[in-house]
């Protein structure tokens, strides 16, 4: 924990102390019975199992189905039981990955789970239905509201912590996490309510029935992530096919991707748009698959007719990408990445902010990498020469604001 940012350490200490206070107070004020202890152990074991089988997300982090168990404990039992379940789940996940999980992550997870439950349970007490299950329609509406309150509290605590830990803006982290946590809660809130109904009517004997909705929820998340992984593999296959054709642009797509993402981070683009840009940047030249190898790898200057064929690659690329449903919108970005800021580019001659922002970002990154890279007809130039060339074409070929941001960011961070 010695290498953690000081802001994160302070925040971790704060929520850990608050969670400890709430846990101790709730345990003291709960009227414990042997049955209640049994239920705590059963739900605690379920929570530990749920936390032990997380689903890895494409951009890092994990999603689990433990909220359904926490939610069940929240609406069935008083704080002593509910809070203890969240602590058990957060602190004691099993498996190889869990053993490698640092202590600070376990403390953070268990603390934010508990505090989210505490806020939600306070609302239940205000509504007069805390500490026990209620079957009325009014209670159902309150339970829905409580799940949303848990969501807001949970995502807020996670956002603040990740912002301190990764030194990223709160807004960017919030949008990124909301994207994953919201569908998680939407699916698991009704699952948790069904589990509460089963457990309320059948007690510990309903344990096997409880496993069914949990396994179904976990499976749905896993299938979704697997589908997204397939998307990424599709992108990788297209890029490999392109680079196998053009020996002089090997690695170009990945470099343009990295440079484009630097610009996106510098202008604080949202996580969703950054992921969109990532796909577009990697695939910006995919249309060259439709260009003859003899032209792509020709030694010396190209004829004007050959340049015309090269200039057709953004349109070809759009056609390829629009046939892949999940990438349909990326086709437009690929089509316009060779437009010029002054309107003299191709294929459509649009100008200024008529050109999609992502296309303008890719244009800056693409131009820089093209200047420093070797080509069949000329050797690559230095970083200083590339920056000078970008500044020269700023406002004519490229978006001047993005050029300024790019050059300043690259120079200040000494990335090249």
pLDDT at 350 over 80: yes
3-state DSSP call for residue 345?
coil
pLDDT at 114 over 90: yes
Q: What whole-number distance in Å separates Cα of residue 399 and Cα of residue 363?
A: 9
pLDDT at 244 over 60: yes
Percent of the chain with pLDDT over 70: 77
Which residue in the block uniquely carries the two structure tokens 């929240």?
Answer: 74
Percent of the chain with pLDDT over 90: 26
pLDDT tens digits, one per residue of 315-324: 988 888 877 6
pLDDT for position 72: 86
Considering only residues 63 and 127, tell me which one the structure prediction assigns the higher pLDDT.
127
Q: Are 90 and 109 in contact (CB under 8 A)?
A: yes
The region of weakest confidence among 24-28, 262-266, 299-303, 401-405 is 299-303
350-357 mean pLDDT: 93
Mean pLDDT of the chain: 81
314 Cβ partners below 8 Å, 6+ apart? Answer: 287, 334, 335, 336, 337, 338, 346, 347
Q: What whole-number distance in Å separates Cα of residue 200 and Cα of residue 188?
A: 18
Number of H helices, E strands in the chain: 18, 2
Q: Which of 214, 191, 161, 187 is nearest to 71 (CA)?
A: 191
Q: What whole-number distance in Å separates Cα of residue 39 and Cα of residue 203?
A: 8
pLDDT at 338 over 90: yes
Stretch (H or E) spanning 63: strand 62-63
pLDDT tens digits, one per residue of 383-415: 888 889 999 999 999 999 999 999 887 655 544
User: What is the pTM for the complete model shown?
Assistant: 0.62
Strand partners, 375: 378
* Burial (0-12, 13-18, 19+ Cβ within 10 Å), 363: buried
């Amino acid at each position: 924990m010695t290498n953690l940012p000081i802001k994160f350490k302070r925040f971790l200490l704060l929520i850990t102390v608050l969670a400890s206070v709430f846990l101790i107070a709730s345990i003291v004020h709960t009227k414990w019975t042997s049955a209640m202890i049994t239920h705590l152990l059963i739900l605690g074991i379920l929570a530990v199992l749920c936390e032990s089988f997380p689903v890895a997300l494409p951009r890092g982090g994990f999603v689990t189905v433990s909220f359904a168990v926490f939610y069940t404990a929240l609406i069935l039992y008083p704080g002593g039981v509910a809070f203890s379940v969240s602590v058990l789940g957060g602190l004691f996940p099993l498996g190889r990955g869990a053993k490698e999980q640092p202590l600070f992550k376990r403390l953070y997870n268990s603390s934010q789970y508990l505090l989210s439950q505490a806020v939600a349970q306070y609302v239940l007490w205000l509504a007069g239905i805390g500490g026990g299950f209620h079957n009325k329609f009014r209670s159902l509406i309150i339970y829905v509201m409580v799940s949303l309150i848990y969501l807001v509290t949970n995502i807020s605590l996670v956002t603040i912590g990740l912002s301190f830990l990764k030194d990223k803006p709160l807004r960017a982290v919030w949008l990124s996490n909301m994207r994953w946590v919201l569908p998680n809660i939407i699916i698991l809130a009704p699952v948790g309510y069904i589990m509460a109904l089963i457990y309320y009517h059948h007690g510990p004997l309903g344990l096997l029935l409880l496993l069914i909705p949990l396994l179904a929820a976990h499976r749905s998340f896993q299938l979704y992530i697997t589908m997204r992984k397939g998307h990424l593999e599709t992108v990788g296959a297209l890029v490999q096919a392109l680079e196998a054709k053009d020996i002089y642009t090997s690695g170009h797509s990945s470099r343009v991707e990295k440079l484009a993402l630097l610009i996106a981070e510098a202008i604080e683009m949202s996580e969703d748009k950054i992921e969109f840009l990532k796909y577009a940047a990697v695939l910006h030249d995919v249309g060259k698959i439709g260009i003859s190898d003899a032209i792509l790898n020709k030694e010396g200057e190209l004829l004007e007719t050959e340049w015309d064929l090269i200039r057709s690659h953004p349109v070809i690329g759009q056609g390829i990408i629009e046939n892949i449903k999940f990438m349909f919108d990326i086709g437009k970005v690929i089509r316009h990445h060779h437009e010029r800021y002054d309107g003299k580019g191709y294929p459509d001659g649009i100008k200024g902010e008529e050109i999609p922002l992502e296309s303008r970002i890719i244009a800056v990154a693409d131009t820089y990498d093209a200047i420093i890279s070797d080509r069949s007809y000329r050797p690559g130039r230095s970083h200083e020469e590339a920056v000078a060339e970008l500044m020269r074409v700023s406002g004519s070929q490229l978006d001047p604001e993005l050029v300024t941001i790019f050059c300043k960011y690259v120079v200040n961070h000494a990335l090249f």
